[in-house]
Structures are given as structure tokens and as C-alpha cells.
Structure 1
């Protein structure tokens, strides 16, 4: 240890700290934060359902309290077992599903508590009010979880949108770009779902197919069966892919290689040019913004590298996993950026938290004089197998030149 480092470890009222004590303090802080978060998530539903005056028979209250206590104790161990390097898919399924259940219960218990306060202030409901609120929270949560699971597991509906690009040549007017994002092949085996998604994409007869990253939670070997149907996707002009932040926890380079093996063009800070009717469109892609911090050699978001050698007079469609890359895209005069990452919030009201980190949660937006951004809600789901008020999508972006047909939405 250098003298400066040793000096920095000396406390004014005690002996020098050891290098080992710092990690211990860090682990203790993280553990304290985790316990606090879990308590915050558990207390409102426990209070609303079992302790706010509903006066259920004591076996019901004891059983409900025991379930919440067991989740509090067991959840961290399930998360570690399910998401560490040697992951257990069974543990991940239990942890992820239970987290979604608790989040929905937390949300509607808070809303139920507010409703209880309002009813109490109006002197409505009487002695049975607490039980009525508890039952309402339980029923609404159960309905939303059932519906949300169906929404997460179904093949996404197709969302269609015309996007006018003034610099697009007439020869490329009407080009259909099908956008996939956030498939998140993971602990729940969705090989059949993946095959049906590929069939749905092919039925759209696309010119270009884009996968905007977060392809899986797991390595290419672990998710080989689920990713295999991507090899059946067809496109007239190109199929392109960029990494998302989740690839950087599960062999990002391996996923680039796997997608190349399946017939896709990995846009690893590079571009390609597609042409039709004598006009050209640059398809460029950058690594996710988390790539550089991953420590993986040669991986970082490098827009200059992606555009190197591209004709500046040609319009550019940029694929970048996170919407928050759009300031760099706007500064470079990109015509259209397509992104995913947000999942549209996935489980309401998480969309409000996503908005803190991202400039857009979903849809088409304009940034600067030229640049437009389309943010997909995503094709799959991450973690909890639920989508509540944030439906998944397969997006068809029909590119229109200045003289093209009027914009249409569906």
C-alpha cells in the first residue's frame, strides 16, 4: 500500500482501517438497503390485508403474516441463486414471479390505503370498511396479475406507425422496418413463443428487421433453444442487431457471434447500407451505453466509429438500445433512432420511475431539428412474468419520404 493510501485509511479517532473492512462495510450497507426496500414493499400489503382492522379469523392473519415473513427472508437467497453466475432457473422463476406479485400488491395496497383515508374522512363504510378495502385490494391485484401474466406470455400485438424522413429517397419510400427489442429469453422457457414471434415477423413481409438488444438473460449456450427461431426470420434487405445492457452480464461478444451464426448482421459500432430504387439508407448501430463499464475489450458506444465511411448525404437509421443515447444521435444529425430498454414500464406505475432515467418511455418523439426517436415497449419481459398497462409490441415502422403517403398509427 502506498503512503497516501495508508494515510487515507487513518481515522482521526482510531487506528488505520484494513483493506478488508471496506468491502465488509460496503456489503453491510447494501444489505441494509435491501432489507429496507423489502420492508417498504411488504409492509403496506401486509398492513392493508391483515393488520388494518379487517379482523379476519386469527388463522388467516397468522398465515398471511407468515407468508410475508417467509418472502422477506427467502427472497434475497432466491435472487442470488437465480441470478448469479451459476444460475438456477427454478430459483429465478420463483424470485422474479414473487417480486412481481409483491409489487402489484404494494401498489394497490397504497392506493387502497388512500381510499380508506378518504372514506374515513367522509365517515363512509363503517366498521366493515377495512375488510372491504382488503378484499378490493386482493381482488384487483389477483385480476391484474392474471391479466398481466397473459399479456407477458402472449405473442405481442403488431403496432404500425408511419415515420416521415425528409432525406429519404423516393426509391425507399414505403420501406417496412420491423422492430424487436427486449426479448429477454430467460428462466421461463419460451422457445415456442420465440418461434411464434418469428412467424409473426415473417408474416409482415419486412424489408428490414431490427433487434434493439437485451436479447436474453443468460449466455448463448443457456438460451440456445430459445434464440434458435431468430434464424428463421426473413427480411428483403437486412436483419440487424445491437447489444443491450443485459448482454453485458451474459457474454456480450458471444451474443454478437450467436446472432451472426443465425444470419443477422451485428452492428457492433458499424454500419451497412441498403439500397432500393437507386436510393440508399444507412443502418448504423452502437453498443449499449453500459458496454464501456463492462470492461470487455473493444466494447463501448462509439457513434463516430459506427458512421465511419458513411456518405453524409444518406439518411441514417441508428439502432441504440437505450433511448437516452438520443442526445448523441441528435448532435450527429441522425434521422431516426430506434430503441427499447424501457419496456414501457412493464408493470404500472413503474413507468414513472423509468422516466427519471430515460427521456422517453414509449413512442415516437422528436429531438432537435432532424432527429426522431422511436422507443419500443419491448417484445418480451424482464424478470416478473407480468405486463400491467404496458403491452408488449412488434413494431412496424413504415419509412416515408417527403413525398410519401400521410402518417398512419395503429
Structure 2
């Protein structure tokens, strides 16, 4: 028997009504604008309420209509910000009431500020999402790292999410910036693309020009398992990246060695893709226990198994730093980390990237993107 869709549809309808209804009530009806403005705002709210789910269904369904996907994703970001800042705007409304302003005038001031602020912050968020990510440099102590590898330059990108918006030029710009950093190890921590290889080939193509002197490694994220993971693994291998599917390689410099391991995303096993599934034991099998270990794991919460296994440094993406405030609170509850460096147990450090691209709404609000330069430091610096 198929599970009933009733509860899901009920929740969906309630969420849609809240997202659109609250801004309509507080920003259109309550201010008592002139009739023409009220009618126009109401028509827009109704069209958006009906059109938004249709655009999302058609855009992200089997047909993959990129134009509708962009329309739906963009509106999702805008209506979310309208909803959030409408709630925050109640504080302004309270302040105005305390100062003695009442009636439609107070509501118009509040609505006007919320509308202008939302327009400004969405414009800023669009720029933040579409720019070539700035470089964030972080030094990370790895006490077990040999002196010969002190100062190792590890460049990390993640969550490029090549999708409905053609970002081939952005992709080339990211690679150009990465190459200027002279990486010894270059890592892509998953969520490469949304869509098939055929659909996103041109956007991913510049990654074939990325350079690293010791290793260029890639792991799957959860979105690969919605977009043809097996094909993406083959494609990235063809572009010259070593795909770490529950495996490892050894890099060496100055007589010191480092194990670079990677696992499939935590969602891989449930995806049904044959042979895929996170297997940390398999990734670390056969390693000398004295070797320091760098682990690529797409989701930060994988540290719950990597720390007990003695991994020295785990690098992850997935969170986008929350992408659009205030989602970072939800992300922290689910993943345990949102961005930056954190310690887990006596040995394990976790670095969580805010990601290089974006997913869905083309906005980043209080969650800037990044290309990360991690400089690994030994407890015994090299003489060089």
C-alpha cells in the first residue's frame, strides 16, 4: 500500500500560505495603501502562491526545465526573506507605537522599511552568491604531521552546485583563482552539480584545468545521488581528479607522508546506486597507524565516526554556512557544525567550508562563499 500523501500536502499548503500570507497581510493590507497598490500587491501574492509550486515542480522534476527552476528558486529566496524580515519588522512597529505613531501611517512606515530592506539585502545576497569566492586562509595544527610536510598547502572547494543558472564563466574564474594559490593538494568536498553530466558538462569543464602538485581529489556529496552519481564519478576521473570512494592515497614531501582518504556521502547507501555507501573502515584499511590522516567527508557530522577512528583532520562542506540567514541555526542542530574550525576529541580537527557556490535560491545572506587555503602545520617545523 502506498503511503498517504495527505499529511505532506497539508504541511506544504500550510507552509505556502504562511510564507505568502504573512507578508501580504502586513505589507499589503495593513498599511491601507491606495486601492491600486493594494490590488496589485494582492494579485502578485495570489500569482506567486499558485505559480511558485508549479515552477518548482516543473523546474526540478523529471523535465528539468532550467528557466522555471531559476524562477522558482529565486522566488523561494525572495519570499523567505520577505517572511523573515516581516517578522523582524514587528520590532520596528513596536518602537513606532511606543513613540506615539498609530494607524495606517505606522504600518506604512514599517512596510516601507521591510520592503526596501528586503530588496537591498536580496541584491547584496545575489552579488555574494554569484561572485568568484574570496580566499579564506586558515592554519591548522596537525601534531602528527612530519616536518617535511610542514606548511603543506591544501586548497579546498565544495558545493559548487552547477545547476540551472549557467555558471561556466564563474567556474573558469574559480579555477583561475585556485591555480594562483599553488595548491599541493586540491580537494573538492562534494555537491559538484545538480543535473546530469550531459546537462552540466560545460559548467564543470574548467575543473579539468585545475592544478595541484601532489594530488587533486574529489568525493561525492548528497546531491550527486540525485543527479547520476556513477556518471559524475566517471566524468571527474576523466577530468584528471582522483575520486576517493572509500579509499585513500599517500602523498609525500621531504621524507614525510600523509594519508588522504575520502568516503562516499552518508546518503549514498540509501540512494540505491550499486556499490555506493559511506565506509570509513574501507577508506582507512591498510594504513600505517602512525600516518597522519586527512579525510574528505561531505557532511560535517561524519566526524562522529572519524574522531573515534583517529582521523587527524576532516574537511567537509554541505552546510553552505547556512546560505540564507537564519538557516544556520537549523544547520547547526542537524550537522553540529556550520563553518570554520572545530575540535572533536583529543586528536581530530574538523574544518567546515561555507562552500564555493550556492544551491537553489541564488542568494547568500550573512553566509559568504569561500575558496579555502588550509596550511597544515607540523608540531616540528621544517628547516626549509
TM-score by length of structure 1 reads 0.91
- Tell me which of 115, 119, 125 is aligned to 2:101: 125
Deviating more after overlay: 255-264 vs 125-134? 125-134
- Deviation, 1:295, is 1.1
Match of 1:241?
218
Task: Provide, for residues 10-38 of structure 1, a one-character-per-residue CA deviation record: whole Å limited to 9, x for no partner.
Answer: xxxxxxxxx3xx44xx2222211111111
Task: Provide, for residues 38-96 of structure 1, a one-character-per-residue CA deviation record: whole Å limited to 9, x for no partner.
Answer: 112112211221122x1111111111111111111111111111111221001100000
**Distance in 2 between residues matched to 1:68 and 1:190, nearest whole Å:** 30
Matches for 1:106-255 after TM superposition, within 5 Å:
106-120=83-97, 122-127=98-103, 128-255=105-232
Match of 1:15?
none
- Deviation, 1:403, is 2.6
Partner SS state of residue 221, structure 1: helix
Task: Provide, for residues 202-240 of structure 1, a one-character-per-residue CA deviation record: whole Å limited to 9, x for no partner.
Answer: 000100000000001111111000000000000000000
Match of 1:283?
260
Note if contact 1:48-1:113 (Cα within 8 Å) is conserved in structure 2.
no
- Tell me which of 347, 371, 377 is aligned to 1:400: 377
Match of 1:10?
none
Partner SS state of residue 314, structure 1: coil
Match of 1:37?
15
Match of 1:12?
none
Matches for 1:206-355 after TM superposition, within 5 Å:
206-355=183-332
Partner SS state of residue 331, structure 1: coil
Give 1 or 2 for the bigger CA radius of gyration: 1
Matches for 1:4-153 after TM superposition, within 5 Å:
19=1, 22-23=2-3, 26-52=4-30, 54-120=31-97, 122-127=98-103, 128-153=105-130
Note if contact 1:287-1:299 (Cα within 8 Å) is conserved in structure 2.
yes
Match of 1:8?
none
**Distance in 2 between residues matched to 1:178 and 1:345, nearest whole Å:** 21
Partner SS state of residue 272, structure 1: strand
- Deviation, 1:115, is 2.6
Task: Provide, for residues 313-336 of structure 1, a one-character-per-residue CA deviation record: whole Å limited to 9, x for no partner.
Answer: 110000000001001010101000
Task: Provide, for residues 94-121 of structure 1, a one-character-per-residue CA deviation record: whole Å limited to 9, x for no partner.
Answer: 000000000111111000023313432x
Match of 1:11?
none
Partner SS state of residue 5, structure 2: helix
**Distance in 1 between residues matched to 2:246 and 2:7, nearest whole Å:** 38
Deviating more after overlay: 313-322 vs 70-79? 70-79
Note if contact 1:240-1:264 (Cα within 8 Å) is conserved in structure 2.
yes
Partner SS state of residue 282, structure 1: strand
- Deviation, 1:123, is 4.4
**Distance in 1 between residues matched to 2:296 and 2:62, nearest whole Å:** 29
- Deviation, 1:288, is 0.5
- 4+ runs of 1 displaced by more than 6 Å? none
Unmatched runs of 5 consecutive residues or more in structure 1: 1-18, 406-410
Note if contact 2:248-2:260 (Cα within 8 Å) is conserved in structure 1.
yes
**Distance in 2 between residues matched to 1:331 and 1:288, nearest whole Å:** 18
Matched residue count? 381
**Distance in 1 between residues matched to 2:248 and 2:302, nearest whole Å:** 17
